[in-house]
Amino acid sequence: MLAPSRTREKPPVPASGAWREGDSAGRRRFADLGAFDLEAGERLPAVRVAYETWGELAPDGSNAVLVLHALTGDSHVTGPAGEGHATGGWWEEMVGPGRPIDTDRYFVVVPNVLGGCQGTTGPSSPAPDGRPWGGRFPFVTTRDQVAVEVALTHALGITSWELVIGASMGGLRVLEWALLGPEADIEVRNIAAIATTAQVGGDQIAWSHPQLAAIRMDPRFRDGDYYTAPDGEGPHAGLSVARQIAHTTYRSAFELDNRFGRLPQGGEDPFAGGRFAVQSYLDHHGDKLARRFDANSYVVLTESMLSHDLGRDRGGVENALTQITARSLVVAVDSDRLFPPSQSARLVTWIPGADPLRIVTSDHGHDGFLVEFDQIGPIVAEFLAGE
Ligand SMILES: CC(=O)SCCNC(=O)CCNC(=O)[C@H](O)C(C)(C)COP(=O)(O)OP(=O)(O)OC[C@H]1O[C@@H](n2cnc3c(N)ncnc32)[C@H](O)[C@@H]1OP(=O)(O)O
Ligand SMILES: N[C@@H](CCO)C(=O)O
């Protein structure tokens, strides 16, 4: 895991003049933030962040909201497909004019995460020698990802966040933000941590293990250096299998049994080489991700999630949680078997003054945060209104 851990005294703030705003692509804009020393000891000599914004920053800077996406999400939290985006926003019902995170009122910023494949520096970005980083891309932690988001915040001239909100892997960063933001002189007034945890545990590491193996064992993975492979092919099969394993954990056993049960897929016969419908469903989600996501980023981001331990170098999880000063909302999905409600309850127990745990009722498991807008929307709106 991590090389000898060292506590960063302050997240890196680029020296004056190191930051410059880059060009844009569609709605996305780019910020070049300079070099970053990573928690595990390596250095990224040049970090670029792709981000999108909605709304206007108030003259006193008091209305900024940071939305942090999950594993395969991106900066396109709302808005139509097109302008560089293959799909519409992944939290369309949550962010926009008159929606729970109201862009008529708030200035909403959504960065793409460090290590991803949507414009922020990641394994497919060029290394200093001009070739893609590929398998040479360094190990990054949740804290490194937040350190980059802290630098983006400074670069945008934002000194306080009214709300930092995210689910799943986004929620991991929300919790780090609650501690690293104030250390970097950025006020974090409210946090909303949805379907997430303070410390990735044995069950989550276990589910990740065969996903990482599926990608690495694909002969087309080539130790991560497949971008320039002669046949132009990457480890799509391995990535698809990884997604199928993950997707099973994103949905509930109840849903899979009741929605698909033992139904065969279309005209296929499962006893004669055909598939059950649930197998076809997983094939579909696996193939769809393999067409839109980079396998190296999947590996880097999965490993960054495994690094997540809010208590590392902070005297343990509970001690770390007690240092959170933001007003805090914690939301769990009752059928989430990946980030179970017990892990959310732990947050509420130890974050001083946290609102009572809000439980979303859903058959859809962890993915409830992407489905149950009728419940999550009012919960977030009520939390913001209650400030
Ligand atoms: C913050 C972020 O995480 S952003 C990333 C979010 N997006 C993703 O994760 C992309 C993957 N998609 C999903 O996980 C889900 O579609 C969600 C969570 C977005 C929405 O959940 P639901 O509305 O319940 O969708 P569901 O799980 O039923 O999947 C629907 C898809 O499965 C397909 N499907 C359903 N049954 C079958 C079957 N038997 N065989 C093949 N395909 C099937 C549907 O045709 C549909 O395909 P499409 O998405 O290409 O149109
Ligand atoms: N569907 C979500 C699940 C992980 O939270 C994603 O792909 O990011």
Nearest to 190 by CA among 294, 330, 320: 330
| 139 Cβ inside 6 Å of ligand 1 | no
Which two tokens mark 228?
């320039």
Residue 236: active-site member: no
Predicted pLDDT at 84 = 62
Residue 335: active-site member: no
Q: Fold identical between 29-201+309-385 and 204-303?
A: no
pTM for this predicted structure: 0.94
Q: Write the single-letter amino acid at 44.
A: L
- pLDDT per residue as tens, the chain (387 positions): 333 322 333 333 333 233 344 555 567 899 999 999 999 999 999 999 999 999 999 999 999 999 999 999 999 999 877 666 667 899 999 999 999 999 999 999 999 999 999 999 999 999 999 999 999 999 999 999 999 999 999 999 999 999 999 999 999 999 999 999 999 999 999 999 999 999 999 999 999 999 999 999 999 999 999 999 988 899 999 999 999 999 999 999 999 999 999 999 999 999 999 999 999 999 999 999 999 999 999 999 999 999 999 999 999 999 999 999 999 999 999 999 999 999 999 999 999 999 999 999 999 999 999 999 999 999 999 999 997
Say which of 102, 144, 309, 336 is annotated catalytic.
Answer: 336
Predicted pLDDT at 3 = 35
Say which of 75, 144, 154, 168 is annotated catalytic.
Answer: 168
Q: Is 8 annotated for ligand binding?
A: no
Show Cβ contacts of residue 161 under 8 Å, excluding neighbours closer than 6 positions. 64, 65, 66, 153, 177, 181, 186, 187, 188, 189, 190
What angle (nearest 5°) sits at the alpha carbon of residue 203, between those of residues 197 and 207? 105
Residue 23: active-site member: no
Reduced to 3 states, what is the DSSP secondary structure of residue 226? Answer: coil
Which two tokens mark 186?
């950025």
Predicted pLDDT at 83 = 60
Predicted pLDDT at 237 = 98
Q: Which ligand 1 atom sits nearest the alpha carbon of residue 285?
A: 11
Q: How far is the CA of 69 from the centre of ligand 2 (A)?
A: 9
Say which of 85, 154, 247, 366 is annotated catalytic.
Answer: 366
Reduced to 3 states, what is the DSSP secondary structure of residue 97? Answer: coil
| 371 Cβ inside 6 Å of ligand 1 | yes
Q: How far is the CA of 256 from the centre of ligand 1 (A)?
A: 13
**What element of type H or E holds 24?**
strand 20-25
Predicted pLDDT at 173 = 99
Q: Is 243 annotated for ligand binding?
A: yes
Predicted pLDDT at 346 = 98
CATH code for residues 29-201+309-385: 3.40.50.1820
Predicted pLDDT at 27 = 78
Predicted pLDDT at 204 = 98
Of the residues 240, 370, 374, 376, which should be mutated to test ligand 1's pocket, given the most ligand atoms within 8 Å of the CB?
Answer: 370
Q: How far is the CA of 201 from the centre of ligand 1 (A)?
A: 27
Q: How far is the CA of 70 from the centre of ligand 1 (A)?
A: 15
Q: How far is the CA of 194 from the centre of ligand 1 (A)?
A: 20
Predicted pLDDT at 231 = 86
| 370 Cβ inside 6 Å of ligand 1 | yes
ipTM of the complex: 0.95
Closest C-alpha to ligand 2, atom 1: 367
How would CATH label the architecture of 204-303?
A: Orthogonal Bundle (1.10)
What angle (nearest 5°) sits at the alpha carbon of residue 117, between those of residues 329 and 51? 55
Domain boundaries, given as residue ranges, for the chain: 29-201+309-385, 204-303
